[in-house]
């Protein structure tokens, strides 16, 4: 079974071996999350070339060698050469996580399909059974969780901070946190005001 985590990779080193379509898709996702990406491949796509020219990625125009893995937190082997991909897995240190684009079973991690709405991230995995289905489910989720969730999550984040800072009783705190996650707050046009009133009432009741 796979253990899902959301990794903070801002400014962390990630090495991508291979520079084709699959490598490119992985690189785009990694850059979005702020990773420092190095691509190792004799040839790369025109989009990757552009990224290397602007300095958004570094490119080593050479075939894979073991030394390329040094200092990487995550490694993606996305060449079209199975032997090379397997060599990457073999050469990696035990503390490095390797993704093999052509071998779910040998991979230490798999890249899910992702749907984002501001602070909301939904990652869908089919454990390699059907990446197409994973993508389709994300598209359905995008309709279910539309644009209004972006500001709603910002509201929830700031309200939750206020609740944690000002309400002492654990039960009351839990009740408030559950209340603001109710759909009525999603739809409410004046939710900040409604929340402020609710918090004020709760605090004054607690003080009694
Ligand atoms: C195991 C995994 C490893 C990994 O890459 O991490 C893996 C493995 C393989 N994919 C293959 C094929 C395709 N992959 C896609 C698309 C995506 N693949 C992604 C992830 C994953 N793919 C991981 C499991 C995720 C899961 O299932 O939960 C996504 C979600 C994320 C991403 O890649 O960023 C991204 C959707 C992006 C989005 O959401 O937009 C498409 C469709 C398309 O390109 O549109 C096809 C063609 C159709 C088909 O073959 O089904 C093949 C066969 C290669 C061959 O036959 O040569 C293998 C190898 C094998 O199965 O052995
Ligand atoms: N995980 C996924 O989402 C998917 C995985 N695949 C698999 O991913 C692999 C790559 O697919 P594409 O990107 O479409 O292939 P591609 O043919 O577009 O690109 C292959 C890249 O690998 C590079 N390469 C080849 N040998 C190398 C070496 N020794 N060292 C460094 N780089 C080397 C080439 O220069 C090229 O840039 C294939 O094995 C395919 O089966 C395919 C589709 C989706």
Q: What ipTM score was computed for the predicted complex, to two decimals?
A: 0.97
Give yes or no for residue 96 CB within 6 A of ligand 1: no
Tell me the sheet residues that pair with 172.
Answer: none
Q: Span 52-78, mean pLDDT? A: 98
User: Under a CB-based contact definition with an 8 Å cutoff, are residues 198 and 179 in contact?
Assistant: yes
What is the 25 CA–ligand 2 centroid distance (Å)? 11
> Does pLDDT of 157 surpass 70?
yes
pLDDT digits (tens, 9 = 90+) for 124-144: 999 999 999 999 999 999 999
* 98-123 CB burial, b ≥16 within 10 A, e <16: bbbbeeeeebebbbbbbbebeeeebe
> Does pLDDT of 5 surpass 90?
yes
What is the 131 CA–ligand 1 centroid distance (Å)? 5
Give yes or no for residue 45 CB within 6 A of ligand 2: no
Q: How far apart are the first and last CA of the chain?
A: 50
pLDDT digits (tens, 9 = 90+) for 189-207: 999 999 999 999 998 887 7
> Does pLDDT of 17 surpass 90?
yes
Give yes or no for residue 42 CB within 6 A of ligand 2: yes
> Does pLDDT of 208 surpass 70?
no
Q: What is the CA radius of gyration of the chain?
A: 22
At 11 the pLDDT is: 98
At 169 the pLDDT is: 93
At 207 the pLDDT is: 74
Q: Whose CA is nearest to atom 19 of ligand 2?
A: 20
Best of 24, 74, 106, 131 to mutate for ligand 1, by most ligand atoms within 8 A of CB? 131
Give yes or no for residue 20 CB within 6 A of ligand 1: no
Give yes or no for residue 21 CB within 6 A of ligand 2: yes
């Amino acid at each position: 079974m796979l253990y899902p985590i959301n990794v903070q990779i801002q400014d962390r080193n990630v090495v991508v071996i291979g520079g084709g379509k699959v490598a490119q898709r992985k690189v785009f996702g990694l850059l979005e999350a702020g990773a420092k990406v190095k691509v190792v491949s004799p040839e790369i796509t025109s989009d990757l070339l552009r990224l290397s020219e602007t300095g958004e990625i570094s490119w080593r125009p050479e075939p894979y060698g073991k030394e390329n893995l040094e200092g990487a937190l995550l490694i993606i082997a996305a060449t079209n050469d199975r032997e090379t991909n397997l060599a990457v897995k073999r050469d990696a240190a035990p503390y490095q996580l390797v993704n093999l684009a052509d071998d779910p079973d040998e991979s230490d991690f798999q890249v899910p399909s992702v749907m984002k709405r501001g602070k909301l991230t939904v990652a869908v995995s089919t454990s390699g059974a059907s990446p197409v289905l994973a993508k389709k489910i994300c598209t359905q989720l995008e309709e279910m969780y539309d644009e209004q969730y972006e500001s709603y999550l910002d509201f929830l984040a700031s309200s939750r901070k206020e609740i944690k800072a000002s309400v002492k009783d654990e039960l009351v705190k839990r009740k408030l946190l559950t209340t603001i996650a109710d759909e009525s707050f999603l739809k409410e046009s004046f939710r900040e005001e409604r929340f402020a009133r609710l918090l004020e009432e709760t605090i004054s009741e607690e003080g009694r």
